[in-house]
Amino acid sequence: MGLWDDWSSKIVDNPEWEVIRSELCVDESLDPVPRMVNLGDGLRFWYGECTWTPEQRAKEELFTKICWYVNNGPGYCEEAPEHIKVYLRRLGLKV
C-alpha cells in the first residue's frame, strides 16, 4: 500500500464516512434501478432507467465528487470548493 492508499484508507475508515454516505446515497434497496458500476477513483457509471428525484441525483453526484477529492489526495482536498470542504472537515481533514 502506498502513501496515497494509506491516506485515503484513513479517511474511509473514519466513522463519519458511513454517516455521510447514508446522508447522500440513495438506498438502492428501495429502488433497484439505476444500476451502478464502480470505475474506481471515485468515478461511477450509471445505466438503466432512473426514477430518482433531482434532489437524490444531486446528492449522489455530491458523494461522487467527495470520493474524487479523497481518492486524489490531500493537495486536491485543499483545492476543493467550500461545499465539498464542509464534508472533508467532517472526516477530520484540516482544509
**Which tens digit of pLDDT belongs to each residue from 57-87?**
899 899 999 999 998 888 899 999 999 999 9
pLDDT in tens, 34-54: 677 777 777 777 676 667 788
In a domain, 43, yes or no: no
Measured at the CA of 91, the angle between CA 87 and CA 93, to 5 degrees, comes to 95
What CA–CA distance (Å, rounded) separates 61 from 68?
A: 11
Q: Which three cell numbers stand for residue 82?
A: 467550500
Domain count, the chain: 1
Rounded to two decimals, the pTM is 0.75
What CA–CA distance (Å, rounded) separates 32 from 51?
A: 10
In a domain, 35, yes or no: no
Query: What pLDDT sits at residue 15?
Result: 95
In a domain, 46, yes or no: no
pLDDT in tens, 9-39: 889 899 999 999 999 988 765 555 567 777 7
In a domain, 85, yes or no: yes
